[in-house]
Amino acid sequence: MSTPSSQPVGPAVSLAPPLPPVGTTSVRAVLLDADGVLQFIGTPWYRALSEGGGEPFAKALLSREGPALSGRESLRDLLERLVVELGLSKDADALMVLWRRATPDPPAWRLVRDLRAAGYLTVLATNQHEERREWMRTALGYDGLCDVDAYSCIVGAAKPAPEYFLGALEMAGVDADQALFVDDSAENISAAAALGLRTVHHPTDAGGRALRSELVEVLSAA
């Protein structure tokens, strides 16, 4: 008489929930944030900046980085000004290293490919200075991951400004009610929802497996 331990083992079965294909839902495009969603960021930005340049630096940087995120100035120019104004011991080159951190999440990237295979238009919807955009493209390999790359420095506006979402939707060629936006920032989620986008508030660094379940749930109900 066989016991459970002696039963033959069949091929492994994927437990990943299937994505509803385009046409079975009103969503045509999925807009995905990078930091905390498609890539692990680890130490929160304020803490990382405080540890790298001091708390006055972190406060000043985060309050004045809008033009750099919108592509109107370089991050390096901003850092060089702050080094002088705050009398920092580190120079701009040393501070730039603070933005060269992130680890792509393989299950999240696989989900992007599965979304495209299911017929969805995928949009990389991320706030980035030109310098970090180039680092993400060259060091992390973001080129070609999504159908549309809506970096804020290219769009000309940064989340949570309505202009960012309107610009990203225009780049994707879809209306707000045809889009699903995923982000780990409550402020960005609220701004997108106010414009009529469906949203998923993904917990920072929760991982691609959780992200897949979140998207399946929302897309199945859309």
Mean pLDDT value across residues 76-81: 97
9: confidence class by pLDDT, cuts 50, 70, 90: very low
> Which pLDDT does position 15 carry in this prediction?
61
pLDDT tens digit string along 96-141? 999 999 999 999 999 999 999 999 999 999 999 999 999 999 999 9
Domains of the chain and CATH, by start: 29-41+102-221 (3.40.50.1000), 45-99 (no CATH)
Chain-wide mean pLDDT for the chain?
A: 93
| pTM listed for this prediction | 0.90
Contacts for 108 with CB less than 8 Å, ≥ 6 apart: 37, 38, 39, 207, 208, 211
> Which pLDDT does position 17 carry in this prediction?
78
| Under 8 Å between Cβ of 39 and 104 | yes
